[in-house]
Amino acid sequence: MQSALLALCRAAARFPRATLGLIAAMTVLAGAGLLSLELRTAGQALVPRSDPVVLSDAEVRRHFGLRDSIVVLIESHHPEGIYNRETLSRLRDLSNDLAAIPGIGSEWVMSLASEARPRVYPGTFRFRPLLDPFPDTPELMERLRADIKAIGILTGTLVTQDGRAAAILIGAPPSLWADPSGADRAALYALIERAASRYENDAHRIRVVGAPVAEALLGSHILADLRLLVPVAMALIAAVIWLVCRRRWAVALALIEVGGCLIFTFGMMGWRDVPVYLTTGILPVILTAIGVADELHVLWRYQQMLGRGESAEDAVSRAMESMARPVTITSITTALGFLSFLVAPIRAIAVFGVFAALGVAYCWLFTMTAIPAALTLIDREEMQRPSWPAMAPLASALPRRLFEGLLQHSRRTLTLLGVLAALIGVGVLGVRVQDSWIDGFSPASEFRRASEFADRHLDGTHVLLAHIAFAPEAAEWPVLRDGRSGPLLEPQVLRAIRRFESALEEIPGVGGVLGPGSHIETVNHLFLAQRSDTRRIPDHAVRVGMVLDKFDLARGVRRRREVIHDDLHQAVVTLFVHGANYRDTAEIMKAARAAQAEYLLPLGARMRFAGDLAVSQAMIPAIVRSQLGSLALACAGALLLTRWFLGSFRLACLAVAPTAAAVLCLFGAMGWLEIPIGVATSTFCAITFGIGIDYAVHLLERIRQLDSGALCAPTRPETLLRALRETAPPILADAVSVSLGFAILMVSRVPANGRLGVIIAVALLAAALFTLVGLPAWLTSRPAARH
């Protein structure tokens, strides 16, 4: 392998202009794919379409005609809350404007302006809307209050408990990911926001929230992040290269490599019709951070050769001869760390791994060809100008002063590191899975504050659907004269469902519950002139059928079908959840199953969950497990590769051990500090492993070279110190620059990305520490394997 790698480097140096031309042509051709690249931030894109929960959710939505809701909340500062002419006028007009937006329509807009009141037009059975007649007198306004109170189920859904705000619910069309005939939700949100802004003034505050809005905003946040973070990351890389090499041409080469890598990688995504998902949105920052790691080591070795008085040509040759093998090994292990995401059940995560690995491959090719080619073309005087003298003492003094004492007491050093790792690592037992989509937004963001406001004042903006189904052959159900038949005509069944709904209302975190029982009770109460004893399930199936007819007349057939299916064997109970997250939702679902066992199972009813909360609840642990599985794959792959390259399984274990210890310690720290592991943070494992192993590979390879191709047992201190003197500065520069590159994600507008960046940065610094302290101590105290 070494001879083939050197042949590639020498060919590039021999034909520098042709080499650079080929690299440029490859980059430009790939970059043409950028013209067809698209952004796809739909949350459904993060779950596989074939997953049973996704299929079940789609089936329930299709049977009951359900859509994701966008909530437009109008808050009034009037002393009477929403019960004033101006607020209700704005509510009515805004409802009409929203219904006129393409893709929505009046049937998918629900507000006080669309819902029926328990009053009919004279001489007809047509129910009046709540705002007809418009309440422009104190008497009519009081009548509106009374009707909303009598209906009951509108409070907490369309009107806040305190009457200070009213909601307009919009059924959002499916996203383009879920349905090619669907809507661009980012564009839809922009239209809704534009329409809503026209009705704001000093007395009225309007907020737009909901899962479709979150998807649209996350996409815009990612684009805004890229406009800020990529230039900052590039400036950081330029600063590190300047500090290490003190050469303008070195900075230029680094920036060209990073720029070419981004153009090539995202251009290939465009050619392959792979959109930019939420997961791949941070890929530019990651590739910028890690893209020049190999180049940094090559340039450092090249500077060393020049410092020893060698000619520029010899320096290029010697640097590539020394670095070709470790650069190749580290590039493969880094790419393997990303490729381990292929085991993820989520296409968006697998795509992230594939194209991150492709970017790493581009950077390897650039380092092996473009760098030696460029170095042969750079002006000789510029190349041989003395570099910044501060790096000389760093190269010679730092390893000896910092490590010589540790090596003299290697066993104590290992014991100290072992005890430290054990104490921190035991915290892994306390690591818990936790996630929430609202955590994707900063606590200071306007959307998060708006969502929390709506969540506090309504029954809840998070929805969990409980689909109830009865087997057709379960029993002899009532049959009406018009042919309708089914368990949902049976009063006993409806009372059991109503008790089930009441049990759900008592679950902590559930703000409200609407289902067939509560709807039929309400319609029966209104149909029977609102007498005090009529808010109950009718006693006879015929009466139940009449109530369903009134339901259709008052609210429309489509609204009734959202609760009770035409076959009268299926129904949906909607749970409105406050502040939904993984743990709390799990408890709610557990309690709901217990209530099902008590009230529904005796009647032969089955229940399954649907809705966004159910999908995320099923997918979060699956994603986390797959990410931890990718860690095992990355670890096993790294062991096999380093075993092949280094020729010894024991040496492979040594190469893997520092990063494994760092990952264990970080998991332990997360457990001790009660930092939960979520969808985003779980990806740090394989990324850290793929990058962190580079440090040990560079150190072990240099020791092997100094030992004439074999690692002595034990390693001689003078050999180890020389290897540290030559590799510790670039390893530290590599670790610090890549860690800082990830750490800048802290300023991301997506907190999950910020947490991921910090975790990876800390893990990589820990991997460098274990490599430069623990690995030398082990090599001087234990026999190493021979080739």
Report pLDDT digits (tens) over 595-617. Answer: 999 999 998 899 999 988 888 88
Structure tokens at 429: 């037992």
The pLDDT value recorded for residue 785 is: 43
What percent of the chain has pLDDT above 90? 39
Instruction: Give the H/E segment covering residue 84.
Output: none
The pLDDT value recorded for residue 87 is: 96
Three-class SS of residue 203?
coil
CA distance 321 to 336: 24
CA distance 676 to 671: 8
pLDDT for 388 beyond 50: no
Measured in degrees and rounded to the nearest 5, phi and psi for residue 172 equal -75, 135
Least confident of 210-214, 303-307, 758-762, 775-779: 303-307
Which range has the top average pLDDT, 32-46, 128-142, 289-303, 768-782? 128-142
Instruction: Give the H/E segment covering residue 683.
Output: none
With bands split at pLDDT 50, 70 and 90, how would you rate the model's confidence at 629?
confident
Report pLDDT digits (tens) over 234-288. Answer: 998 888 888 877 788 888 999 999 999 999 999 999 999 998 887 788 899 999 9
How buried is 529 (Cβ within 10 angstroms: 0-12 exposed, 13-18 middle, 19+ buried)? exposed
Report pLDDT digits (tens) over 712-771. Answer: 556 677 888 888 888 888 888 889 889 998 999 888 888 888 888 899 999 999 999 999
Q: Which residues of 97-129 are buried (b: 16+ CB within 10 A; e: fewer)?
A: bbbebebbeeebbbbbbbbbbbeeeeeeeebbb
The pLDDT value recorded for residue 588 is: 95
Least confident of 61-70, 261-270, 413-422, 634-643: 634-643
DSSP classification of residue 81: T
Q: Do residues 519 and 551 lie in contact, with contact meaning Cβ atoms separated by under 8 Å?
A: yes
- Among left, alpha and beta (phi > 0; psi -120 to 50; other), residue 396 is alpha
Structure tokens at 151: 């209906």
Top pLDDT among 437 and 525 is at: 525
The pLDDT value recorded for residue 579 is: 80
Strand order in the sheet with 510-514: 510-514, 570-577, 462-470, 605-610
Q: Do residues 265 and 34 lie in contact, with contact meaning Cβ atoms separated by under 8 Å?
A: no
pLDDT for 208 beyond 80: yes
C-beta atoms surrounding 674 within 10 Å? 11
Top pLDDT among 46 and 737 is at: 737
Report pLDDT digits (tens) over 391-410. Answer: 444 444 455 556 666 667 77
The pLDDT value recorded for residue 713 is: 55
DSSP classification of residue 716: P
Per-residue pLDDT, averaged over 553-572, amounts to 91
Instruction: Give the H/E segment covering residue 691.
Output: helix 684-706
The string of DSSP codes covering 727-780 is: HHHHHHHHHHHHHHHHHGGGG-SSHHHHHHHHHHHHHHHHHHHIIIIIHHHHHH
Q: What is the dihedral of CA 233, 236, 241, 244, to 10 degrees?
A: -140
The pLDDT value recorded for residue 396 is: 47
Top pLDDT among 650 and 46 is at: 650
Across the chain, mean pLDDT equals 85
Residue at 159: amino acid letter: V
CA distance 655 to 689: 11
The pLDDT value recorded for residue 49 is: 66
pLDDT for 425 beyond 90: no
With bands split at pLDDT 50, 70 and 90, how would you rate the model's confidence at 641?
confident
Least confident of 27-36, 124-133, 303-312, 546-555: 303-312
Which range has the top average pLDDT, 71-75, 175-179, 583-587, 614-618? 71-75
Structure tokens at 584: 């709390």
- Among left, alpha and beta (phi > 0; psi -120 to 50; other), residue 123 is left
pLDDT for 570 beyond 90: yes
Report pLDDT digits (tens) over 482-506. Answer: 889 999 999 999 999 999 999 999 9
Which is nearest to 739 in space by CA: 764, 776, 771?
A: 764
pLDDT for 177 beyond 70: no
With bands split at pLDDT 50, 70 and 90, how would you rate the model's confidence at 170?
very high
Per-residue pLDDT, averaged over 311-321, amounts to 84
Q: Please tell me the total number of residues recorded for the chain in this structure.
A: 787
Per-residue pLDDT, averaged over 97-106, amounts to 92
